[in-house]
Amino acid sequence: MDTEGWLADTRTSYDTVATSYADEVRDLLDQTPCERAALTLFADLVRTTGGGPVADLGCGPGRITAYLCGLGVDAFGMDLSPAMIEAARRDHPGLRFEVGSMTDLDLADASVAGLVAWYSLIHVPDDEIGSVFAHFRRALRPGGPLLLGFHVGDESRLKMQGYGGHPMKVYVHRRQPGQMAAWLNDAGFTVEAQMTLSSAESTLGGILFARRRPAVR
């Protein structure tokens, strides 16, 4: 699958469902105490490494960005879908949101103190993950924490209808935590913790905490 093809399909799909999606997930964290605990731990890790800006990549309508800001983190959101960014700005005025792609991440080297990709890697094909993680490592400060949320499994399926019954055309990739950890290790991260859980976020979800390793001299 060519990069431009799946990116265009993902952008169009989420532009189409943005309003319905925002309505459906707006209060989801109220139902997911384990996920809230993971985000709180991530916020603590950012503070213990000196604080600074945190990027929420694939932020959708901005609920994770807003939650982190509520924990005192200087978080901003980025998403491929302009309609999602519009929804984020509408729901969370005063916070920073911008259109951008994690496949061509427009962030300066070592410019963020932490990075979150919360169920936003699920449409990235396997052969693009290494490049995406290389962008994550480049943008993170040495020692900066990375938090990933993803669906656990072994299959990929084509999703043709989404939130509110609107048409979509995106592949949803489920992955094993061990595979995600191996990709992170190859990209220059040290995985520090991982867990699986079932909740309103996912029938079986995975959460990984990792940290950017310093460059080898």
Single out the residue of 147, 205, 133, 137 nearest to residue 175, CA to CA: 205
> What is the homologous superfamily of the domain 3-212 according to CATH?
Vaccinia Virus protein VP39 (3.40.50.150)
> What local confidence, expressed as pLDDT, does residue 59 receive?
97
Q: Which residues of the chain are under the pLDDT cut of 50?
A: 1
Q: For residue 161, with 0-12 CB atoms within 10 Å meaning exposed, 13-18 middle and 19 or more buried, which class applies?
A: exposed
> What local confidence, expressed as pLDDT, does residue 63 receive?
97
Domain ranges for the chain: 3-212
- With tokens 């911008």, the residue in question is 98
Give the integer Cα–Cα distance in Å for 214 and 217.
9
Cα angle: 89, vertex 92, 94; to 5 degrees: 80
> What local confidence, expressed as pLDDT, does residue 2 receive?
57
> What local confidence, expressed as pLDDT, does residue 162 receive?
78
> What local confidence, expressed as pLDDT, does residue 163 receive?
76
> What local confidence, expressed as pLDDT, does residue 168 receive?
83
Q: How does DSSP classify residue 93?
A: T
